[in-house]
């Protein structure tokens, strides 16, 4: 069963770019990643899906129903966490959450308490006394308190410390096991790789790729930085898969895609002072993974 269905969804702001011809589906029970650089159109897509802004053309359906025609009905079964959360400062956390729960016409008291304990959220505090991270926790509890069938998360981990991020991921996985479908929007590739089954990648308002996470991992670059005792010539490091080579007297950096053992064997031959290996950011992946040899970009790849 398709929980989300976008069909050539387009939103323009006068002459400014929004999103263009987005088409993809999210199946029941998926944790679906929606990723791209900041400003790529992720939030615009989500706000259009939720009926917060109207599409210029195309359509979005949730639970098989048009998001505009059936907006209020659909929203009763959706939990939404926006990228930025704003609240009335003089309200206490528990009052805000119970007020939010009143819209769903069900008693959510037990659920609110359970979620607050998981996220270590003090329900007695006033909103203006909370840090950014604790306000994000309020948003998480608010989005999940009515046990939604679809959870839509827009950059949900900003402001959370690593421990709370881990706890939040475990909470999402538990909700998914109970049957919730999750759309997880992020610009952090590692988060999406940890949680998601499939991923849609958006750049400049257009769908670049629709892939299984397993395929994305196979094609992901690693970013290396080496500090060496002596200068290393590029010709001595000629192995397939190395790109973006830069070097000064004792520092080398490059991207690598391929069998990690090949590059590690080559590095083992060198006299190192230090080494850093990390995931490249999404912009770097877009530049290399989604550019054809003739320089044109892939507009769409089916999973």
How far is 103 from 264, CA to CA, in rounded Å?
Answer: 57
Q: Is the pLDDT of residue 293 over 90?
A: no
User: Max alpha carbon distance in the chain (Å)?
Assistant: 70
- pLDDT confidence of residue 173: 96
- pLDDT confidence of residue 286: 58
Task: Please state whether beta strands 78-81 and 150-154 pair in parallel, antiparallel, or not at all (unpaired).
Answer: parallel
* Of 119, 204, 107, 184, residue with least CA distance to 147: 107
Percent of the residues in the chain that have a pLDDT greater than 70, as a whole number: 90
- pLDDT confidence of residue 298: 44
Average pLDDT over residues 164-184: 96
Q: Is the pLDDT of residue 194 over 70?
A: yes
Domain boundaries, the chain: 2-217, 222-278
Task: Please state whether beta strands 2-13 and 57-62 pair in parallel, antiparallel, or not at all (unpaired).
Answer: antiparallel
CATH topology of domain 2-217: Rossmann fold (3.40.50)
Q: Is the pLDDT of residue 217 over 80?
A: no
- pLDDT confidence of residue 86: 82
Decide which of 209 and 280 is more confident: 209
Secondary structure (DSSP) of 19-73:
EEEEEEEEETT-EEEEE-STTSSHHHHHHHHTTSS--SEEEEEETTEETTTTHHH
The sign one gets for the Cα dihedral 158, 162, 163, 165 is positive
pLDDT tens-place string over residues 69-102:
999 999 999 999 998 888 877 899 999 999 999 9
- pLDDT confidence of residue 136: 93
pLDDT tens-place string over residues 98-128:
999 999 988 999 999 999 999 999 999 999 9
Q: Is the pLDDT of residue 46 over 90?
A: yes
Token pair 């992901």 in the structure block, residue? 220
Average pLDDT over residues 41-69: 94
- pLDDT confidence of residue 260: 86
- pLDDT confidence of residue 230: 85
CATH topology of domain 222-278: Alpha-Beta Plaits (3.30.70)
- pLDDT confidence of residue 35: 87
Q: Is the pLDDT of residue 8 over 50?
A: yes
Average pLDDT over residues 159-186: 95
pLDDT tens-place string over residues 23-39:
999 999 999 999 888 88
- pLDDT confidence of residue 288: 55
Task: Please state whether beta strands 251-256 and 242-247 pair in parallel, antiparallel, or not at all (unpaired).
Answer: antiparallel
How far is 241 from 231, CA to CA, in rounded Å?
Answer: 21
How far is 251 from 191, CA to CA, in rounded Å?
Answer: 29
Which stretch of 41-45, 139-143, 210-214 has the lowest confidence by average pLDDT? 210-214
Whether pTM exceeds 0.75: yes
- pLDDT confidence of residue 281: 62
Q: What does pLDDT average to over the chain?
A: 87
Q: Is the pLDDT of residue 231 over 90?
A: no
Token pair 């950096």 in the structure block, residue? 253
């Amino acid at each position: 069963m398709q929980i989300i269905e976008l069909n050539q969804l387009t939103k323009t702001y006068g002459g400014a770019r929004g999103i263009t011809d987005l088409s993809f589906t999210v199946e029941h029970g998926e944790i679906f990643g929606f990723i791209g650089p900041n400003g790529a159109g992720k939030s615009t897509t989500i706000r259009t899906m939720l009926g917060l802004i109207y599409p210029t053309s195309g359509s979005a359906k949730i639970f098989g129903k048009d998001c505009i025609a059936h907006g209020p009905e659909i929203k009763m079964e959706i939990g939404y966490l926006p990228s930025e959360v704003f609240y009335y400062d003089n309200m206490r956390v528990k009052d805000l959450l119970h007020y939010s729960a009143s819209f769903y016409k069900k008693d959510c008291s037990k659920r609110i308490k359970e979620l607050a304990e998981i996220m270590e959220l003090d329900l007695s505090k006033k909103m203006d006394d909370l840090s950014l991270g604790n306000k994000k926790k309020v948003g998480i509890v608010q989005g999940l308190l009515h046990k939604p069938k679809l959870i839509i998360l827009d950059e949900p981990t900003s402001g959370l410390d690593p421990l709370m991020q881990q706890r939040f991921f475990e909470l999402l996985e538990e909700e998914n096991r109970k049957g919730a479908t999750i759309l997880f929007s992020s610009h952090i590739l590692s988060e999406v790789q940890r949680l998601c089954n499939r991923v849609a990648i958006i750049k400049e308002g257009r769908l670049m790729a629709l892939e299984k996470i397993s395929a994305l991992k196979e094609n992901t670059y690693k970013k290396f930085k080496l500090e060496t005792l002596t200068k290393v010539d590029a010709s001595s490091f000629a192995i397939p898969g190395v790109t973006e080579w830069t070097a000064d007297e004792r520092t080398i950096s490059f991207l690598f895609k391929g069998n990690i053992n090949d590059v590690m064997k080559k590095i083992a031959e060198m006299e190192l002072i230090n080494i850093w290996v990390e995931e490249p950011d999404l912009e770097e992946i877009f530049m290399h993974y989604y550019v054809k040899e003739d320089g044109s970009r892939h507009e769409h790849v089916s999973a």
